[in-house]
Chain A
Amino acid sequence: MASPSTATPASPASPAAARPRRRLPYYAGLLAVQLRTSLTTAMQYRADFLVQGAMSLYWLGWNLVPLLVLFDHRASVAGWSFEAALVVMANFVILRGILEGAINPSLGAVVEQIRSGAFDYTLLRPADAQFLVSTARFAPWRALDVLGGLALLVYALVRLGHVPDLGQLAAGLVLLGAGLVLMYALWLIVVAAAFWVVRLDNLAFLLSSVFDAARWPAAVFRGTWRVIFTFVLPLAVITTMPAEALLGRLDLTTGLAAVAGAAVAAAIARAIWRLALRNYTSASS
Chain B
Amino acid sequence: MIEVVGLRKHFRVHRRKPGLAAAVRSLWHRTYDTVKAVDDISFTIERGERVGFLGPNGAGKTTTMKVLAGLLHPSAGQVTVEGHRPAQRDPAFLERITLVMGQKQQLLWDLPPSETYALNRAVFGLDPAAAARTLGELTELLGLAGLVDKPTRQLSLGERMKCELAAALLHQPTTLFLDEPTIGLDVAMQVTIRDFIRDYNQRHDATVLLTSHYMDDVVALCPRVIVIDGGHLIHDGDLRALVKTMIPDKLVSFTAALPADEVARLGEVVKSEHGRITIRVPEARLREVVGHVLDRAGTDLAVEDPPLEDVMRKLFHTKRAP
Contacts and interface: CB of A to CB of B under 8 A. Distances in A.
A and B touching (Cβ–Cβ under 8 A) = yes
A30 B126 CA distance: 12
A61 interface: no
A124 B94 contact: yes
A26 B125 CA distance: 7
Given A30-B123, A126-B95, A283-B11, 9 more contacts: A10-B125, A16-B130, A20-B125, A22-B91, A36-B118, A117-B101, A125-B120, A125-B124, A281-B87
Interface stretch (B46-54, B63-71, B226-234, B309-317): B63-71
B24 interface: no
Given A33-B118, A124-B69, A12 B127 contact: yes
Interface string B93-120: 0110111010111101011000100111
A62 interface: no
Interface string A26-44: 1001101110110011000
Contacts of A14: 127
Contacts of B133: 15
23 contacts: A1-B90, A10-B127, A11-B127, A12-B128, A17-B125, A17-B126, A17-B130, A18-B127, A19-B126, A20-B125, A41-B111, A117-B101, A118-B106, A120-B66, A120-B104, A124-B98, A125-B123, A126-B124, A278-B73, A281-B87, A282-B72, A283-B12, A285-B63
A123 interface: yes
B230 to A, nearest CB: 15
B67 to A, nearest CB: 10
Contacts of A37: 108, 111, 115, 118-119
Nearest to A36: B118
Contacts of B66: 120
A14 B120 CA distance: 19
B220 interface: no
Given A120-B66, A125-B123, A126-B91, A15 B129 contact: yes
Contact of B115 (A22, A40, A125, A132): A40
A213 to B, nearest CB: 30
A29 B123 CA distance: 9
Nearest to A282: B73
A127 B123 contact: yes
A133 to B, nearest CB: 13
B137 to A, nearest CB: 13
A121 B127 contact: no
